[in-house]
Amino acid sequence: MDKEKLQRLWDLAPMFVEGTPHAKFLGFKFVAIEIGKATLSMPYSEKLIGNAQTKVLHGGVLTALLDQASGLAAVSSFKNIQPVATLDLRIDYMRTGTPGKTIIAEARAYKTTTHIAFVRAIAHEGDVDDPIASSQASFMTTASSRKSLGNPLERTKAVKNLPPAKPTTTERQS
Amino acid sequence: MTETLSLDAKVKQALDSMPYANTLAIRPILMGEDLTFVLPYSPDIIGNPMLKALHGGAIGAFLETAAIVGLGIVGDTLALPKPIGINIDYLRRGHPKDTYARAVISRLGSRVANVRVKAWQDSVRTPIAILHGNFLITKPQKK
């Protein structure tokens, strides 16, 4: 069952990133996913600079990247794959990023209850032991997804175009 | 001689030196001494296209910009502080419309400052997110 969920996550996760307008806008790239874990990357871009003199990226860009990676880890950690909203996010900026370098964010949901996921994440430039920032966040499944019976993701246009995933088909038949 | 800038000029200079603030089209509204920032709605800052909710990261970046500029304009010359740690509480969903933010400096030390920033849409009494953070004060470079 975990294998099927993992397959489904790999099918959905790239769209979770590309289907998020702000993630697309900032150039986030999907790297990898496991149940409760997600990795994203973000290439350096001049429009994301926070200080014109030093050319260092704006801290808010890291906030967005860590939020997105953590959210994806949270999504993957719930029993049913469903969208989430950020409740709170804490970030520690450990060192200044290097202008020109791609940033990698790795997130892990270390505890998930029925509707809440607690996630830690780290942002680095290739060496996990030399992070530029770390974060801790909590996420909640969104209200509309809790009210509806099915998985709201199934109704999005992007997902509709996909061939139906096997687990869902079996569920409907039974 | 150090040049003294008006509040208007300092805010403009601070935002101009932050290309990402320009990317998000963040602009100031000055009413006397009260400095409020606007994050204009754009489809590019949506985080959940189904709910049409703003991305937490965009709201976070906006709050952080308000904190940095709010601190940077204190004093005669412009010096943008660097974030050490920030904490954001997301209180309500951000709807697809303009968002406002105002920073309040809780403590301004010689090396570290503590700032609170509130973001709202409909009413200042129903904030959508609150940031509090510590920032490292940078000294303007000596000539």
B69-120 pLDDT, tens digit per residue, is: 999 888 777 788 999 999 999 999 999 999 999 999 999 988 999 999 999 9
pLDDT at B20 over 80: yes
Q: What is the pTM of this model?
A: 0.86
Partner-chain contact B58 A65, CB within 8 Å: no
Residue length, chain B? 143
Partner-chain contact A68 B57, CB within 8 Å: yes
Task: State the pLDDT confidence band at B3, using cuts at 50, 70 and 90.
Answer: low
What does each C-alpha distance from A92 to A136, B86, B110 come to in angstroms?
A: 9, 7, 20
Chosen from B42, B68, B71, B90 to mutate, greatest number of chain A CBs within 10 A: B90
User: Which value does ipTM take for this structure?
Assistant: 0.89
Helical ranges in chain B per DSSP H: 7-16, 19-23, 56-72
Partner-chain contact A63 B60, CB within 8 Å: yes
A125: closest CA of chain B, how far (Å) = 18
Domains and CATH numbers, chain B: 7-136 (3.10.129.10)
Q: What is the pLDDT of residue A171?
A: 45
Those residues whose C-beta lies under 8 Å from the C-beta of residue B115, and which sit 6 or more positions away, are: B67, B70, B71, B103, B104, B105, B106, B131, B132, B133, B135
Task: State the pLDDT confidence band at A142, using cuts at 50, 70 and 90.
Answer: confident
Domains and CATH numbers, chain A: 2-169 (3.10.129.10)
pLDDT at A159 over 70: no
Partner-chain contact A22 B55, CB within 8 Å: yes
pLDDT at B132 over 80: yes
- Rounded Cα gap, residues B54 and A37, in angstroms: 24
pLDDT at A172 over 70: no
Place of tokens 């874990």: A37
Q: What is the pLDDT of residue B143?
A: 42
- Rounded Cα gap, residues B124 and B102, in angstroms: 10
Cross-chain CB nearest to A86 (options B62, B65, B90) = B90
pLDDT digits (tens, 9 = 90+) for B22-73: 999 999 998 777 899 999 999 999 998 888 999 999 999 999 999 999 998 8
Partner-chain contact B18 A65, CB within 8 Å: no
Those residues whose C-beta lies under 8 Å from the C-beta of residue B84, and which sit 6 or more positions away, are: A92, A93, B112, B133, B134, B135, B136
Task: State the pLDDT confidence band at B9, using cuts at 50, 70 and 90.
Answer: confident
Chosen from A15, A20, A22 to mutate, greatest number of chain B CBs within 10 A: A22
Q: Which tokens is A62 given?
A: 């890291």
pLDDT digits (tens, 9 = 90+) for A67-122: 999 999 999 999 888 889 999 999 999 999 999 999 999 999 999 999 999 999 99
